[in-house]
Structure 1
Amino acid sequence: MSFLFNTYSLARPALFSLDAEKAHELTLASLKKAYDCQLTRSLLGARPSKPCTLMGLSLRNPVGLAAGLDKNGEYIDALGNLGFGFVEVGTVTPKGQPGNPRPRMFRLPREQALINRMGFNNHGLDAFIANVKRSQWRAQGGILGLNIGKNAATPIEQATDDYLLGLEGVYPHADYVTVNISSPNTKNLRALQGQDELSALLLALQEKRKELDDRQGRRVPMVVKIAPDLDIDQVDVIASLLMPHEVDGVIATNTTLAREAVRGLPYANEAGGLSGPPVHALSLQVISRLRQQLGDGFPIIGVGGIVSGRQALEKIQAGANAVQLYTGLIYRGPVLINECVQALE
């Protein structure tokens, strides 16, 4: 297993010679083919163990996959097989949409960073749910998070309608649901982080969830994913709304619009969200402030800029209960998952 996992570093130069989005698609397709073959599935499989509980869910380990890598839920089983304690897929919108024009993903290798302006490209809720239902990850004991957003064509004043459709659609098939209000690549979406807007959205979701709880006979945790580009007052406002609206956790953070850490690098001025190590310090600040405001018991998932086990540990030390990977996985490969689990032990 160690040999196969480390071969990613050998394949990476060839992948990085391709357009970033094409390389992304090729890697996922290859991973699925390897998973579908019984021999390579067992060779690629990993189960790093550090059992923990998050939002009442039993995780094999506290290292998860962040949303965005598998927007349509097509690769859940193959990705889970790499050793994640939990997997989050999406963001899904009620209707399928192409996202922003290509090219829309750019590598900044010197900082092990990415800039993307994908724009919630996905096949829509029906196709997403069909893919989720075909996967075996949950049946095998894996924890699955489903991430919902709004369509680009939906006016921001009607965004709640999209989130309610998303929540109702994914609820029966999720171990937890993430409400994504922090992508910088859908116009005006981050305005939903304002006090009045967020309060109204969470109230509507809270009421819908009670209806779904009764219908399903189970309560599915709901979390909110927020941006790193918030000042202290904005973080405090969000923190003050989570528990009153029965939100079960918070994911901190999404990508950043800041460019100070990559100024002068090729592609640094491309529009979109910056991910990778430049987000790490911003994420730590938000996590730390959330922990101060929310107390010891409230679940926080730390994401943004983890490319080593040390950075995963720093997320936990700042106040996170679990972490998620995305950009670090693209630069380091699956070996990063086990490294993070070992660091947290």
Structure 2
Amino acid sequence: MQLYPLFRKALFSRDAEWSHDFTLRQLQHCNSGPLHKLIYQRLPVKPVNVLGLTFPNPVGLAAGLDKNGTCIKALAALGFGFIEVGTVTPKPQQGNDKPRMFRLPEHEALINRMGFNNDGVDALVARVQEAGFKGILGINIGKNKDTSEADGNLDYLYCLEKVYPHASYVTVNISSPNTPGLRAFQHGTHLTSLLAALKQKQQTLTQEHMKYVPILVKISPDMDKEQILGFAQAIQEHDIDGVIATNTTLDRSKVESAEHANEAGGLSGQPLTDRSTQVIKWLREALPDSIPIIGAGGISSPDQAKEKLAAGAQLIQIYTGFIYQGPALIKSIVNSL
């Protein structure tokens, strides 16, 4: 693990998406066998009981790193208390044109406009079954780019049915800025229609599989307080199990001078820290304690993790901070809690 700064230096000399794909290919070799033991980090158990599940520690991996579920066991070996894979869509899709991922190292940030590139839900489910992972696994679902807003609910319901037997929880991604029209599902009748359909499907699948799988919704940091409070009311009315706050932002006010600041896509990392924490605070004020929040966005230190928890999150997720700091970040956060 001490070698990560050297490893990062080599990776950061290459294109961001090439480095991402290369790293995943190497991690695939670490899912089992001697290499699995080589990357294993033994961390103290600091359990958190949320969503009817016992998380061995509150530090999870956010969706987007392992979209296709190729490295689940390797990532878990690094010490994550839970892994979230995806976003996955009904049909495979290539995503947006390359280049579509950019580093802003002076801000410890990334901009991506990947566009839900993934192998499709059937391929993901097959890999999850093959992995046989016994830890807590979240599966993040979305809609295909060529699916109309009018038919968007059908994509989410299709994916929910496919992943339900294999997930510890399911995250509904309606907040990526990189699929046209997706964020419309965060508001008004789009939102209430989707939540009602998901809840009805969840009830049916619970009876079918004799297993209750919680549904969480991942939201954008770009909504104002009034919109956040409206969202909070809707998920209470439809008995949704939890919220992940937040996804990436379109705001560039904190990175205006950066080389890639004008690239289209969602910004993640340090520039997002304060905004995502504010969204968590608004949600916590509006939601009962029975609806948990997973805090994500700009966590790259134990203090920032504690800020998210103090704001009202029960669990946290990291991604961009993990890219910049490596497995040592997981260990330092868990040890500090």
TM-score class normalised by the smaller sequence: over 0.9
Extract structure 1 runs of 4+ deviating beyond 4 A.
none
Contact 2:248 2:297 in 1 (8 A): yes
Instruction: State the 1:211 CA deviation.
Output: 0.8
Match of 1:319 among 294, 312, 315: 312
Whether 1:22 aligns to 2:18 is yes
Which residue number corresponds to residue 37 of structure 2? 42
**2:83 corresponds to which residue?**
87
Normalised to the residue count of structure 1, the TM-score between the two structures is 0.96
AA aligned opposite 2:160:
L
Aligned to 1:126: 122
Post-superposition shift, 1:12? Answer: 0.9
Q: Which runs of 5+ in 1 are unaligned?
A: none
Partners of 2:219 and 2:247 within 8 A in 1: yes
Residues 108 and 321 in structure 2, CA contact (< 8 A), matched pair in contact too: yes
Contact in 2 for aligned 1:34/1:41 (Cα 8 Å): yes
Q: Do residues 330 (structure 1) and 323 (structure 2) align?
A: yes
| Larger mean Cα displacement after TM superposition, 129-138 or 60-69 | 129-138
Q: Is 1:184 the equivalent of 2:180?
A: no
Secondary structure of 1:183's match? coil
Aligned partners of 1:94, 1:164: CA distance in 2, in Å? 10
Q: 1:145 aligns with which of 138, 141, 154?
A: 138
1:170 and 2:166 equivalent?
no
1:73 corresponds to: 69
Q: What secondary structure sits across from 1:301 in the alignment?
A: strand
Identify the match of residue 220 of structure 1 among 213, 234, 251: 213
Deviations 1:96-133 (A, max 9, x none): 00000010000000000000000000011111110111
> How is 1:95-114 mapped onto 2 (pairs within 5 angstroms)?
95-114=91-110
State whether residues 47 and 84 of structure 1, in contact with CA within 8 Å, keep that contact through their aligned partners in structure 2: no
Match of 1:289 in 2: 282
Residue 340 of structure 1: how far off its partner (Å): 1.1
Shift of 1:297: 3.0
The 2-side partners of 1:113 and 1:203 are apart by: 36
Give the letter for the 1:29 counterpart: R
The number of residue pairs the alignment matches comes to 336
CA deviation after TM superposition for structure 1 residue 237, in Å: 0.6
Quote the Cα distance in structure 2 between the aligned partners of 1:164 and 1:32. Answer: 30
Give the superposition deviation at 1:296.
2.8
- SS of equivalent residue, structure 2 residue 119: strand
Rounded to whole Å, the distance in 1 between the matches of 2:8 and 2:74 is 19
Q: How far is 1:243 from its partner?
A: 2.1
Task: State whether residues 31 and 72 of structure 2, in contact with CA within 8 Å, keep that contact through their aligned partners in structure 1.
Answer: no
Question: In the aligned structure 2, how far is the partner of 1:122 from the partner of 1:40?
Answer: 26
Task: After superposing the two structures, state which structure 1 stretch, 290-299 or 111-120, moved more.
Answer: 290-299
Displacement of 1:44: 1.2
Q: Which amino acid aligns with 1:163?
A: Y
Residues 1:6 and 2:7 are matched in the alignment: no
| Helix, strand or coil at the partner of 2:30 | helix
Q: Would the aligned equivalents of 1:66 and 1:87 in 2 still touch at CA under 8 Å? A: yes
Task: Choose from 224, 248, 259 the match for 1:231.
Answer: 224
| CA contact 1:312–1:343 (8 Å) conserved in 2 | no
SS state at 1:79 partner: helix
Give yes or no for contact 1:179–1:222 (8 Å, CA) kept in 2: yes
AA partner of residue 244 (structure 1): E
TM-score with structure 2 setting the length? 0.98
5+ residue gaps, structure 2, are: none
**Counterpart selection for 2:194 from 188, 201, 218:** 201
In structure 2, how many angstroms separate the alpha carbons of the residues matched to 1:307 and 1:173? 30
The share of aligned pairs that are identical, in percent, is 55
The answer as to whether partners of 1:182 and 1:225 remain within 8 angstroms in 2 is: yes
- Name the structure 2 match of 1:241: 234
Question: Which SS does the other structure have where 2:291 is aligned?
Answer: coil
